[in-house]
Amino acid sequence: MNHGNSGLAHGTSGSSQLTLDNGDMAAKAKANEEKLSAKQTKPNFDNYPKTIHDGRQGKHIQGHNNYTPGRSKITITKEQLQKLIVVHSNKGKAVSDTKERVDFGTIIGVYVDQSTGKEYPTTIGIINYSKAGTHVVPAHPKGEA
């Protein structure tokens, strides 16, 4: 029996066809809308402790045993930084579910451009949140990096 379509039934082109009823389409549309909405909602960092994680923060404090040369450096005291974290937490721009970019309004340290090694004083920092505590990485003074 020749169907005139390479042996396929009338109305097919050889690819599988997906049929959805209106209920399935509505459910998929609603699920996609919820995903988009969730991505656009700013994360709430209030659920994370605001205490500084000494080991992680130490990577950015010259003289600390965890200090990593070549990284951006904090130039204020741990106590000053702790106060700034408490005041500015959840007021910056989220860059991920666990990080936000904050302008602390005062110089917190030095941003180190990784490609040139140049250092720039900065008021901008990325607060990194975790269940173990927070730490701040000085960021590009124009908020671009």
**Listed residue (24, 1, 3) closest to 13, CA to CA:** 3
Q: What does pLDDT average to over the chain?
A: 83
Confidence of residue 145 (pLDDT cuts 50, 70, 90): very low
Confidence of residue 143 (pLDDT cuts 50, 70, 90): low
Percent of the chain scoring above 70 in pLDDT:
70
Region at 127 (left for phi over 0; alpha for psi -120 to 50; beta for the rest) = beta
> Residue 52 pairs with which residues in a beta bridge?
134
Q: Which of 18-22, 43-47, 92-96, 97-101 has the lowest mean pLDDT?
A: 18-22
Count, residues in the chain = 145
**Residue-wise pLDDT tens digits, 6-54:** 444 445 555 444 444 555 655 665 655 555 444 556 789 999 999 999 9
- Prediction pTM value: 0.70
d(CA 2, CA 4): 6
d(CA 64, CA 31): 48
Q: Residue 19: its pLDDT value, please?
A: 47
Q: Residue 30: its pLDDT value, please?
A: 61
Enter the DSSP assignment of 52: B
**Listed residue (67, 63, 113) closest to 138, CA to CA:** 113
Q: Residue 42: its pLDDT value, please?
A: 77
Q: Residue 116: its pLDDT value, please?
A: 94
Q: Which of 29-33, 34-38, 57-61, 85-89 has the lowest mean pLDDT?
A: 34-38
In DSSP notation, 98-129 reads TEEEEE-SS--EEEE-TTT--EEEESEEEEEP
Q: Residue 36: its pLDDT value, please?
A: 47
Mean pLDDT within 53-68: 97
